[in-house]
Amino acid sequence: MTRHKDETPLSAVMGPDSHYEGDLAFDGRVRVDGHFTGRIYSEDTLEIGPGGLIEGEADVARAIVSGTVRGKMRVRELLVLQPTGHIEGNLDAGLVELHQGGVISGEVRIVGKELP
């Protein structure tokens, strides 16, 4: 088992053919496999599946990115960027686990500890 494996049950799943625009705040673990445009905030875990796309801003405690983020992303604890993951824009993160093939393009700040 890898250290980023999150055993918390999913609170919600945004399916691959779904589109959502607006603000999203959640507790628990949420997975996005569709297209989300707007702002996301959580004290928990955001997962972006291989076909998922987020355009806008995300501020979460933990993130597992296998899809694409375009915009500003703040991950206060741990960001896991999978081989198919792409982040295009500004990234602030406490810790980052970057797998071979994952791509970050833009301004990056990694502090090596949890962000306040």
Mean pLDDT (the chain) is 92
User: To the nearest whole percent, how much of the chain has pLDDT over 70?
Assistant: 94
Q: Output 6 or 37, whichever has higher pLDDT.
A: 37
User: To the nearest whole percent, how much of the chain has pLDDT over 90?
Assistant: 84
Q: How many Cβ atoms from other residues are within 10 Å of residue 33's Cβ?
A: 20
pTM given for the model: 0.90
Q: What is the mean pLDDT of residues 13-42?
A: 95
Would you say residue 91 has pLDDT above 90? yes
Would you say residue 6 has pLDDT above 70? no
Token couple for 40: 């996301």
Residue-range domain boundaries for the chain? 27-110
Strand partners, 31: 13, 47
Q: What is the mean pLDDT of residues 53-61?
A: 97
Query: Which whole-number Å values give the CA distances from 56 to 66, 87, 90, 97, in the listed order?
Result: 17, 11, 11, 22
Q: What is the mean pLDDT of residues 30-41?
A: 97
